[in-house]
Structure 1
Amino acid sequence: MDQSLSRKRSARDWVVDSVAFLLAALVGLILYDQNDQDAIPQWLFAADFVTGIALCLSLWFRRRWPVQLAVIAAFATVYSETGGVAALILTMTVAVHFPFRVTMMIAGLNVLSVAAYSIVRETEDPAVAVLIAAVPLYVGTVGWGLYVRSRRTLLQTLRERAERAELVARLEAEQGQLRAREEIAREMHDVLGHRLSLLSVHAGALAYRPDASTEEIAGAAEIIRSSAHQALQDLREVIGVLRAPVGELPQPAFGDLPVLVEGAQRAGVPVELELDAPGALPEHVGRTAYRIVQEGLTNAMKHAPGEPVSIRVVGAPGNGLIVDVSNPAPKGKPGDRGQGLKGLAERAALVEGRLEHGKTPEGDFRLSAWLPWPA
């Protein structure tokens, strides 16, 4: 049995039941008015009317007792023409909410009652003719009910799948966040611990060596300043990663760029890399550059598969680092790259850089970033 029968009647259900009652009552009264009162006994004529009105009223309770009312309607329509439409609606209710076997039993019982009707009412048409006229009505009614049932079942299945998928995705996201936070904790311990240890050592040296020369004091102060600035940059990046989507923890280093490109080339992507960045690049800037190239390659493989990708990473201390990733833009409607590029823009801003993206006049999609590289 359908679970919807046990729920409280909604506003839509009230409207549907009202329309069903009015339709059954209106058609029943028209059929009753067209009956030949001289052809049947008066008591049967009156029973037809009373039974038809009762069947129409029973439509208000069809969601509570659908099978019972359909069986009663099948026996009642043996002599009642006024309740014929109500019997059709009750049969369709069974088809919507119950299995096929139950529906066929109710439909067969109603078809037999139609055959018996021609005998009880002594109609001019033979029972076969009455059956030929009635069977298509019940076949159409049952078919409509089965279609409604299958559609509801499909929608319910899709809804349950969507809910399960959402639950699984939420659980996976929570697990990913836990793993990411553990990795961030390790990185904070390794990176920030090292920076702060340097600060402590040099600050302690200044405190315990009042006889240090001016040059030694200036050198230690510069190391303290540089380490404090680097620690602040690392802390900003860690906080940014905590706010970023799951899986955005930057683990690779700038030196892994050739490996990343080689992996894409082995996958069949025609990639050209121009790498000219001599010197010691700060770790947080190098990781950001790696993520920009990685995202550019990912977008190119997703939105323009098979097209060549050009990567240019050049820079020098004091001038900054330029990262360009370009590929021919796909034809037709462009794909959605918004979330990944937003994350890159935030990541570039965390290292005090800037990021731009869009189509070039030549028709390519270009992802370009400038990242600071202190002298």
Structure 2
Amino acid sequence: MEANRQITLPEPAERTRPPWRRRPTSSAVADELDLDSEGRPGRRRRTARDWAVDFGCFFVAVLLGLTFSQEVWDEPDLPRALALLDQAVGALACAGVWLRRRWPLGYAVAMIPAGFLSDTAAGAVMISIFTVAVHRPFRDAAWVTGVSAALLPFFFWWRPEADTSYGVSVAFTAVIMITVVGWGMFVRSRRQLLLSLRERATRAETEAELRAEQAQRLAREAIAREMHDVLAHRLTLLSVHAGALEFRPDAPRAEIARAAGVIRESAHEALQDLREIIGVLRAGDQGDEPGRPQPTLAALDGLVAESREAGMKVELDHRVGEPATVPASVGRTAYRIAQEGLTNARKHAPGAEVTVTVDGAPGDGLTVAVTNPPPPGPVPHVPGSGQGLIGLTERATLAGGRLDHGPGPDGGFAVRAWLPWPG
């Protein structure tokens, strides 16, 4: 049944919302995750935060480059042409910092030979390693850092430090590289955590929307079923007696007056029932309780009496000694089953004697049966869609019971239901 279907959520959660309904990503989250305003990876333009971070990286690279450039220029054994080449490569490496967001891996690969040839490019090399660790998977950062670290012994053998031993220089630079990579991986993991939390929040929001839509749909179905059960009984009386007046305009005045009274009373009761349903809807919106309680099994005698006053032949076999002991939900369902059975008998078997049987005990369940023989005469055409029996089947199933209906061997019709009655 529709009410028992499980909600299946699409993957990923972001796809459940059409592109024109996706909420824009906040600027703080977009900056942290390096996303655009729609939540997609990458940005076409730098934000103020991007400019600040890139300028800071450029400043660090230039500051370290100037420091090492002076040391290179002061080396007495280094040819001037090589010193100029060192500074030129370092200047290009610092300028390339502005391209690190667009091509993080390419920039890091380009910095491997630049770092081997130039002391001035040391700051830019560290920035490139940090960038690739933040923006690329671990394997890319690992092999870039590994190649750079493998070239360190050759670099310091070729251009040894004057004031530091060979081993200390290699070890100290390797530790700095590892530290920079670890820092970059921490930033990347934090961004991935924020992205995961954002996706989970989006998924939770989508699930809440789907559950709200399902609850609204089920509420509409319940309201429609309740309106059918309540109003069909009254409106059938109107239809039958109006049809009788139409086909028998020469009926005795007493019968015409009685039919008119039934029509008036049924219209009044239908209006009252409709007001009750609307009142329940308004009370649900305002958080209040409905004005009048729903009918239970104790109201079955009144339903049969009303049908008899309308001209039906109804026999009630009520075998439940204390109807008030029946649970309210079970009694309400039994009442609706009997009401719908009487309504259908009045429409499709006018003049036939209808038998309503109610039996049961706590622990054994409650049995409701509405049976009628074939109609004794012609049956006037009364419109009907069969939705009442479908609604009764759903109602009984939701209550944990079952309902069967169909024609009998004698040409009549029977509606039988069993409902659980806890002991």
Short-chain TM bin: 0.5 to 0.7
Q: How does 1:7-22 map to 2 (within 5 A)?
A: 7-11=43-47, 12-22=49-59
State how far apart, in whole Å, the 2-side matches of 1:193 and 1:19 are.
77
Q: Cα deviation per residue 1:218-241 (whole Å; 9 max; x = unaligned)?
A: 999788656533431223324665
> Is this contact kept in 2: 1:195–1:231, CA < 8 A?
no
Q: Cα deviation per residue 1:165-217 (whole Å; 9 max; x = unaligned)?
A: 332332333233223222211111111333455677899999999889x9x99
Q: Secondary structure at the match of 2:215?
A: helix
Pairing 1:71–2:71 present? no
Pairing 1:83–2:126 present? no
Match of 1:132 in 2: 171
State how far apart, in whole Å, the 1-side matches of 2:261 and 2:96 are.
97
Q: How does 1:345-360 map to 2 (within 5 A)?
A: none
> Is this contact kept in 2: 1:196–1:228, CA < 8 A?
no
Out of 262, 276, 281, the position equivalent to 1:233 is 276
Match of 1:159 in 2: 198
State how far apart, in whole Å, the 2-side matches of 1:167 and 1:219 are.
52
State how far apart, in whole Å, the 1-side matches of 2:267 and 2:203 are.
53
Q: How does 1:297-336 map to 2 (within 5 A)?
A: none
Q: CA deviation at 1:91?
A: 0.4
Q: CA deviation at 1:90?
A: 0.4
Change (3 A) 1:221 1:253: closer
Give the AA of the match of 2:276: Q
TM (norm. structure 2) is 0.50
Q: CA deviation at 1:83?
A: 1.2
Change (3 A) 1:244 1:91: farther
> Is this contact kept in 1: 2:237–2:263, CA < 8 A?
no
Pairing 1:175–2:214 present? yes
Q: Which has the larger radius of gyration?
A: 2
Match of 2:94 in 1: 56
Give the AA of the match of 1:17: D
Q: Cα deviation per residue 1:11-37 (whole Å; 9 max; x = unaligned)?
A: 022321121112211221123224424
Change (3 A) 1:254 1:96: farther
State how far apart, in whole Å, the 1-side matches of 2:34 and 2:57 are.
21
Give the AA of the match of 2:110: I
State how far apart, in whole Å, the 1-side matches of 2:196 and 2:286 are.
33
Identity of aligned pairs, percent? 37
> Is this contact kept in 2: 1:28–1:85, CA < 8 A?
yes
Q: Secondary structure at the match of 1:69?
A: helix
Pairing 1:31–2:31 present? no
Give the AA of the match of 1:152: R
Q: Which moved more, 1:28-37 or 1:86-95?
A: 28-37
Q: Cα deviation per residue 1:24-68 (whole Å; 9 max; x = unaligned)?
A: 112211232244242311111111211111111111111222222
State how far apart, in whole Å, the 2-side matches of 1:223 and 1:172 are.
39
Change (3 A) 1:192 1:240: farther
Q: Cα deviation per residue 1:335-375 (whole Å; 9 max; x = unaligned)?
A: xxxxxxxxxxxxxxxxxxxxxxxxxxxxxxxxxxxxxxxxx
Give the AA of the match of 1:228: L
> Is this contact kept in 2: 1:203–1:224, CA < 8 A?
no
Out of 101, 119, 137, the position equivalent to 2:157 is 119
> Is this contact kept in 1: 2:237–2:262, CA < 8 A?
no
State how far apart, in whole Å, the 2-side matches of 1:139 and 1:6 are.
27
State how far apart, in whole Å, the 2-side matches of 1:137 and 1:20 are.
16
State how far apart, in whole Å, the 2-side matches of 1:183 and 1:10 are.
54
> Is this contact kept in 2: 1:48–1:79, CA < 8 A?
yes
State how far apart, in whole Å, the 2-side matches of 1:244 and 1:176 are.
17
RMSD of Structure 2 on Structure 1 (CA): 4.2
Q: Secondary structure at the match of 1:59?
A: helix
Match of 2:232 in 1: 193
Q: Cα deviation per residue 1:221-272 (whole Å; 9 max; x = unaligned)?
A: 788656533431223324665x699xx99xx95869xxxxxxxxxxxxxxxx
Change (3 A) 1:84 1:254: farther
Match of 1:45 in 2: 83
Change (3 A) 1:176 1:217: closer
Give the AA of the match of 1:128: G
State how far apart, in whole Å, the 1-side matches of 2:133 and 2:286 are.
51
Change (3 A) 1:122 1:136: closer
Give the AA of the match of 1:233: E
